[in-house]
Structure 1
């Protein structure tokens, strides 16, 4: 902050978003830094819920938005709670992300296995050491902590994963876009690799209520499940940061970054937005390539928009090197997707010219 004198801080991952909120409670933080953090992410009254799956679902339930039944349990109470709630149930460990710390259990035996897999059992020396180290980081970061081995048991909602990402200012939504996941990695609860824009009034209304209740400024995304037996949107998680689809709103008439920039007085111009068909699917870079370098979704003529940052070759080159480590036997396939400028221009032309 002293070197850069920033106007805003934007978190790019879960851990930074959580620890940034913890800094506000640190007495050694200067008043200037505290003011900057609060201006960037919103009211401190919402930090606990933004950092905790358990507290977030409690907040969602208290304001009356549609959410799955959820209970805070430990190993001694989980089986009885699951029986009362009804199987299948979701195990969700607090302050985990990217599909980690999540399991589904369809019967008591799977619940016991799932708790062990999520690190809630005694575990070996290495597992116990990692667990205690994580809790030490949270304590040093002054994050709200639950008792050791306490986790969330959540009602399972059969349906399709979806999310709504928004830019907000002092509890008011400035702009937002909703997407439904068409493919995730790792299955079944990992990050999206392919998604599609949707209009869902309930997701939009729920997000406005949650943003107001949390007092959020900056970027935030909420995960939903759209129920397969009626289309209702159940909110399940809060991601208090940008996500890998936040910039895609511009392709569908919703410029999140531009809306926040105008709110802050950085610009008075409204940037041109595209108007892709709402059914147009988007493959996220580099996630879909990382999932499967030979993905049919990335083949010429697939009709999908591959979200490659063609205007930033340095990022492409860096990701290509990382992908080679992950898939050393698929260098040729990845080179065809990201290789020469001619090939890139050809694929970009096929996918429409909106990525730039």
Structure 2
């Protein structure tokens, strides 16, 4: 389930197919993954009615589905659908079975709550406090100290994040982060980027938190878990690129789970998590890890193999009655790993693009063609977008009749 047209979702779809699942995508009309012959599309995720449209799609899938949110918007929409009682009986069963304890569905998308939970459990975590209003900012910064990091819940890839070094900088950043985007700006961004989520932004007031600034190198761990127990993990260090710090990680290398793995086990157990999730860290100068935040969803590296060579979805498959496909797992790229297509989007002239380091799913030419076609396509016109949406809804109606 995804609110965005992120192309790296194709890796997760391939990993799910290889793990023995039938693959279905609930996302925006025109997603590249939805065009693959072996991917079903039981519903569309509406940017203005996210929770309701997501619940409607889930109702048609049934209780046996493995529900996998791919981005923070989808994860929050699932939590809202549960909270508001929008899920039918079969969908509610699927959500709890797939994601774990229903009591923590909303808590796990709250940065402040997750930081407190980790610290209470003895994890070395960057202290994070809520900033409910501008007149509380100074008090919060006095408790945390400067420099500090201001973040909005639900942000990703460096968006909605500001490192502040003094009081004036902090107040300017807070005003920018907590302000609702204007509708005209949302429409312009939708026009340029073909992402309807921008139109929904003006109706959503961001929640801002402040976090202790932790210097160091970024690292991450993706895990598969079941009812509060970690089944396996993929631990990675982020390899610096020319624009590190201004966007998502695009080149990574394997790392020992170590302290990251221990933290993952503590957090997963405390929240009773099932499914896929990721945790972000900073490696400090002395080698210690500092936990920054939980991503309660499949992260862009969730398809990579564990140290034993298994994929995270392979570890979850038996819990849903799925069996890995007969075909051998595709080989992992040689480290350092250039994520596809993220690294070539960042820099087509990157020394890793087109080499054995790039994570291209060469064994699935249809998936490669779908990504390449999306990368080379022009941003559609308004007329084309309307027709695309109509065609997607027409296909859904035809499928339901058959």
- Would the TM-score normalized by the shorter structure come out above 0.5? yes
2:216 counterpart (146, 159, 180):
159
> Are 1:190 and 2:242 an aligned pair?
no
Relative to structure 1, the CA distance from residue 185 to residue 271 in structure 2 (aligned partners, 3 Å threshold; closer, same or farther) is: farther
- Once the two structures are TM-superposed, the CA of residue 131 in structure 1 deviates from its matched residue by 9.9
Cα distance in structure 2, aligned partners of 1:232 and 1:313: 42
Cα distance in structure 2, aligned partners of 1:321 and 1:165: 28
Please give the secondary structure, in 2, of the residue aligned with 1:24: helix
Pairing of 1:76-91 with structure 2 (within 5 A): 76-91=135-150
Cα distance in structure 2, aligned partners of 1:317 and 1:273: 20
Cα distance in structure 1, aligned partners of 2:88 and 2:59: 11
| TM-score for the superposition, normalised by structure 1 | 0.77
The farther-off stretch of 283-292 and 261-270 is: 261-270
Question: What is aligned with 1:95?
Answer: 154
Cα distance in structure 2, aligned partners of 1:149 and 1:242: 22
- Once the two structures are TM-superposed, the CA of residue 153 in structure 1 deviates from its matched residue by 0.7
1:52 counterpart (110, 120, 126):
110
The farther-off stretch of 177-186 and 211-220 is: 177-186
1:27 counterpart (85, 88, 101):
85
Unaligned 5+ residue runs, structure 2? Answer: 1-57, 188-196, 379-402
- Once the two structures are TM-superposed, the CA of residue 109 in structure 1 deviates from its matched residue by 2.5
Relative to structure 1, the CA distance from residue 274 to residue 29 in structure 2 (aligned partners, 3 Å threshold; closer, same or farther) is: closer
Q: Deviations over 1:199-258 (max 9, x none)?
A: 03111111001000111111111111111x211111111111111111112476343111
Pairing of 1:231-310 with structure 2 (within 5 A): 231-250=287-306, 253-267=309-323, 280-298=335-353, 300=355, 305-310=357-362
Displaced runs of 4+ in structure 1, greater than 6 A?
A: 122-125, 127-132, 268-277
> Are 1:225 and 2:277 an aligned pair?
no
8 Å CA contact retained: 2:217, 2:238: yes
Q: Deviations over 1:119-160 (max 9, x none)?
A: x258867579999954756xxxxxxxxxx6652110010011
- Once the two structures are TM-superposed, the CA of residue 98 in structure 1 deviates from its matched residue by 2.6
8 Å CA contact retained: 1:99, 1:186: no
- Once the two structures are TM-superposed, the CA of residue 40 in structure 1 deviates from its matched residue by 0.8
Relative to structure 1, the CA distance from residue 286 to residue 79 in structure 2 (aligned partners, 3 Å threshold; closer, same or farther) is: same
| TM-score for the superposition, normalised by structure 2 | 0.69
Relative to structure 1, the CA distance from residue 4 to residue 30 in structure 2 (aligned partners, 3 Å threshold; closer, same or farther) is: closer
8 Å CA contact retained: 1:251, 1:275: no
RMSD: 3.3
Question: What is aligned with 1:314?
Answer: 366
Relative to structure 1, the CA distance from residue 209 to residue 274 in structure 2 (aligned partners, 3 Å threshold; closer, same or farther) is: farther
Please give the secondary structure, in 1, of the residue aligned with 2:134: coil
